[in-house]
Chains A and B, each alone.
Chain A
Amino acid sequence: MSSPTSTSDATGTGAALAGTGGFLGRSRRGWLLVGLGLVLALALPWFVYPPVAMDIACWALFAVALDLLLGYAGLLSFGHAAFWGGSAYVAGLAAIEWGLPFPLAALLGAVFAMALAWPVGVLSVRRSGIYFAMVTLAFAQMLFFVVNQWRGLTGGENGLQGVPAHFFGVEAVEDQAFYFYYAALPIIVAGMWFAWRVVHSPFGRVLVATRDNPARARALGYDVERYRVLVFVLSAGLAGLAGGIFAISHGFVSLQEVAWQTSGKVVLITVLGGIGTLWGGIAGAVVIVLLEDFLASSGFDGIGIITGAVFIVVVLLFRRGVWGTLSDLLGRRTGRSHAVERSISAGDGEEPTA
């Protein structure tokens, strides 16, 4: 009567998912979790200052985008600010110059991010581990340089000021952060649904296989690099969607959005939340954005010291992040998802030769 899609066979279908404990298991509990998440998301601006609620939602989508790459493909990008920030500038310019409604402006930004990610992905997926992180960082720094120098278009160090939030003439949304949040939330949720769709697709299954054992995946006939480029582009698109909405919700685009600190922050949020779960990015964004807001509003200067310390404590004590630990406490983890975590942390699934 409530959810027509839920099945009585909760373990069977849930277990068939190739991925890893997931964001929406196809079980009753998964739907319950999604329902709870939606209720909390809808209630958020009643409890926290609406612009902060918007920040949480944007960073959550950004972290989910990074988790798609880090958690499911095993690729750590240290240059995702290029896609978030690149899209922020494109969306900002589209809103200023053409007066595009903000959902379309953000979508345009996301398309730009994907177009940018394609060549970057092709050139960086040949490397893995720390080399992949460094190559992506290098590309992001190149974009930072271009944005900083191209003052006529981007405003250089001043950024883009006065970005309007057009929304088909609905004044409440255009003027008030509280209503803007509700107009933007469906886009954020759609982005997260898209990430879930990717993880639980034939593509998602292959992706996890290429993460765990690329040589085996090749021997089964899969062109591993092609899969990595595609997930890189999809991840960049979602990061761009989040960045575009973020910029318009703030009414300006600052150089900070393409800076390496932004790439670092989203890695921190994702790892803090727990990788390979999608939910982790959301949990991480709630913790970090609320913490930063609390510290900033209490006049504390060294925000980085506190968030850094929280990060270190979480990583040392709860190796699987906030979400992984929470799920453990709720007894939701199966032996199966532990095996996944082990294979992620060990970096491979190989046995010693006898």
Chain B
Amino acid sequence: MTPPDPRPVALSARGLTKDFRGFRAVKDVDLDVVDGEVHALVGPNGAGKTTLFNLLTGFIPPTAGTITVHGRDITGRTPEQIAHEGVARSFQITSLFDHLNPREHVELALQGMAGGGLRFWRSDSVLRRFRGRAEELVEEVGLADLVERPAGELAYGQKRALEMALVLALDPKVMLLDEPTAGMGREDVDRTIALVRRIATGRTVVFVDHNMHVVGSLADHVTVLMAGEVLARGTYDEVRTDERVITAYLGEDSHA
């Protein structure tokens, strides 16, 4: 009964399955993310990575299976409840409020955790109590100079950095980052790797990425998905040399 890793499991899925009108996007997936590790989900397009993310964060309900966070069953909870359980996610498609500036974004996120958003009778100047912390977080992701700029006017890499600040604002135990470096140039990718490494201290991170440089630099463990199923798992080096993974990525002929 002793687990192979002495550290407790932060995020766990058992038999997770999702059907979309007869198409099984995620099939019987077991996942164990150890507390404090950085865990990568990889796999070709259509492998079910984003569906798995949406399941883990409550955006879609599973057809079967259970999800636990630090031992608590969160299956069937809504996204906002899961956020309050300390699981925060970023979005693959940059998903921001165009008219709010970075500080206001983070203030909104801080208030979301602190509560009090329903107070329609108060002036929004009560949000000023979040200002100091908001500015710290904006600075932490490298947007200190752009604190007043509407998000609609930020460059792509800056928007992705702001996504990170929003995730951090929730002070989550578990962070799920959906393709944090998608569409980035080399320089932004390296900056993001450094950022994720910095914010991962003391937290559990699960991320999806296609860039093997990113996966190799960040991940303690890798789970490879293929057509909705777990194909392989292990450290980056184990997975990289796994025959089935090579076949899945490169096709049958490549190692003939």
CA distance A215 to B101 in the complex (A): 18
Interface centre among B83, B95, B166 (most CB of A within 10 A): B95
CA distance A205 to B133 in the complex (A): 18
Known A-B contacts A202-B126, A222-B117; the reply to A209 vs B100 at CB < 8 A is yes
Indicate whether B63 reaches chain A with its CB closer than 8 angstroms. Answer: no
Question: In residues 102-135 of chain B, which contact A (Cβ within 8 Å)?
Answer: 104, 108-109, 111-113, 116-124, 126-127
**Which one of A215, A217, A220, A223 lies within 8 Å of B59 (CB-CB)?**
A215
When distances are taken between beta carbons in the complex, the residues of chain B under 8 Å from A206 are 108, 111-112, 117-118
Total chain B interface residues with beta-carbon distance under 8 A: 48
CA distance A343 to B98 in the complex (A): 7
**Which one of B89, B98, B122, B169 lies within 8 Å of A349 (CB-CB)?**
B98
When distances are taken between beta carbons in the complex, the residues of chain A under 8 Å from B109 are 220-221
Is the pair B98, A219 in contact by a Cβ cutoff of 8 Å?
no
Is the pair A335, B153 in contact by a Cβ cutoff of 8 Å?
yes
When distances are taken between beta carbons in the complex, the residues of chain A under 8 Å from B93 are 350-353
CA distance A216 to B162 in the complex (A): 13
Question: In residues 340-354 of chain A, which contact B (Cβ within 8 Å)?
Answer: 340, 342-343, 349-354
Question: In residues 40-98 of chain B, which contact A (Cβ within 8 Å)?
Answer: 57, 59, 78-80, 83-84, 88-89, 91-98
Is the pair A202, B159 in contact by a Cβ cutoff of 8 Å?
no
Is the pair A216, B122 in contact by a Cβ cutoff of 8 Å?
no
B122 to chain A, nearest CB (A): 5
Indicate whether A140 reaches chain B with its CB closer than 8 angstroms. Answer: no
Known A-B contacts A205-B108, A215-B95, A336-B150; the reply to A353 vs B183 at CB < 8 A is yes
Known A-B contacts A18-B124, A201-B123, A353-B93; the reply to A220 vs B108 at CB < 8 A is yes
CA distance A219 to B93 in the complex (A): 14
Indicate whether B182 reaches chain A with its CB closer than 8 angstroms. Answer: yes
Indicate whether B19 reaches chain A with its CB closer than 8 angstroms. Answer: no
Interface contact tally, CB-CB below 8 A: 147
Indicate whether B238 reaches chain A with its CB closer than 8 angstroms. Answer: no
A-contact bits for B123-149, CB 8 A (1 contact / 0 none)? 110110000000000000000000010
A127 to chain B, nearest CB (A): 17
Is the pair A203, B183 in contact by a Cβ cutoff of 8 Å?
no
Is the pair A205, B152 in contact by a Cβ cutoff of 8 Å?
no
Interface of B is mostly: loop
Is the pair B98, A18 in contact by a Cβ cutoff of 8 Å?
no
Is the pair A16, B104 in contact by a Cβ cutoff of 8 Å?
yes
CA distance A22 to B222 in the complex (A): 50
Indicate whether A161 reaches chain B with its CB closer than 8 angstroms. Answer: no
When distances are taken between beta carbons in the complex, the residues of chain B under 8 Å from A198 are 120
Indicate whether A133 reaches chain B with its CB closer than 8 angstroms. Answer: no
Is the pair B117, A343 in contact by a Cβ cutoff of 8 Å?
no
Indicate whether B213 reaches chain A with its CB closer than 8 angstroms. Answer: no
B interface residues (Cβ-Cβ under 8 A, vs A): 57, 59, 78-80, 83-84, 88-89, 91-101, 104, 108-109, 111-113, 116-124, 126-127, 148, 150, 152-153, 156, 159, 166, 169-170, 182-183
A-B contact pairs, 30 of them (CB 8 A): A16-B124, A18-B104, A20-B99, A201-B120, A201-B121, A202-B124, A202-B126, A203-B120, A206-B111, A206-B118, A215-B95, A218-B59, A218-B80, A219-B79, A219-B91, A220-B109, A221-B83, A221-B109, A221-B113, A223-B78, A230-B120, A336-B150, A339-B99, A340-B98, A343-B97, A343-B98, A349-B152, A350-B94, A351-B93, A353-B92
